[in-house]
Chain A
Amino acid sequence: EAQVTQNPRYLITVTGKKLTVTCSQNMNHEYMSWYRQDPGLGLRQIYYSMNVEVTDKGDVPEGYKVSRKEKRNFPLILESPSPNQTSLYFCASSSTGRGYTEAFFGQGTRLTVV
């Protein structure tokens, strides 16, 4: 089954404690991205990757890091989480980075930073 898998689904952590949210896709997609969803706002892109070892900042990259060492995986790293990073996070992939291909989303990770 074609899917994007994120883990964990829920996470409560404390300020400053490094964490990683994993994302894996099994569709051999080139393009992967991370979004955050906050009340009253649309999905906002954090980082994206056009292919292995190619990553770039989205609209709200501050406080986040990513890596793309393998095509299927695109982890999101919060080196020193802060309460303003409490949000719902989605990983997404698409076959290309061009806008005419649909995005496939993971199940979401609800992160709370206290």
Chain B
Amino acid sequence: ILNVEQSPQSLHVQEGDSTNFTCSFPSSNFYALHWYRWETAKSPEALFVMTLNGDEKKKGRISATLNTKEGYSYLYIKGSQPEDSATYLCAFSSNQAGTALIFGKGTTLSVSS
């Protein structure tokens, strides 16, 4: 059974703090790793799709890194703002035909002003 683990489950930071989360996934049969941002009462929205070992992606203050050999990805938020409060989901895609995106349970970030 493919398993995707995210840590921490939740965290609370002050405005201006930088923070990071971890996503662990199977290192075999890797195809892609997705990060989604999910705000309360909205639908998840894609942040990054990463396919290459060593890949780094950046969107504004948010960036992500990928290590497919050891099976982990980090999401970084620099200078957190209250609008960054959301649940961040990672999802693993295997190169085996017919398999879906396997989602982790998410990391819920709360940023206080």
Instruction: Please report A residues at the B interface, Cβ cutoff 8 Å.
Output: 4, 33, 35, 40-45, 48, 56, 58-59, 90, 98-108
A100:B31 contact, CB within 8 angstroms: yes
Chain A residues with CB under 8 Å of B31's CB are 98-100
A-B contact count (CB 8 A): 58
B contacts with A, residue count (CB < 8 A): 25
B43:A108 contact, CB within 8 angstroms: yes
Chain B residues with CB under 8 Å of A56's CB are 98
Chain B residues with CB under 8 Å of A33's CB are 100
Instruction: Please report B residues at the A interface, Cβ cutoff 8 Å.
Output: 4, 31-32, 34, 36, 42-46, 49, 51, 89, 91, 93-95, 98, 100-106
A42:B43 contact, CB within 8 angstroms: no
CA gap between A114 and B98 in the complex, in Å? 34
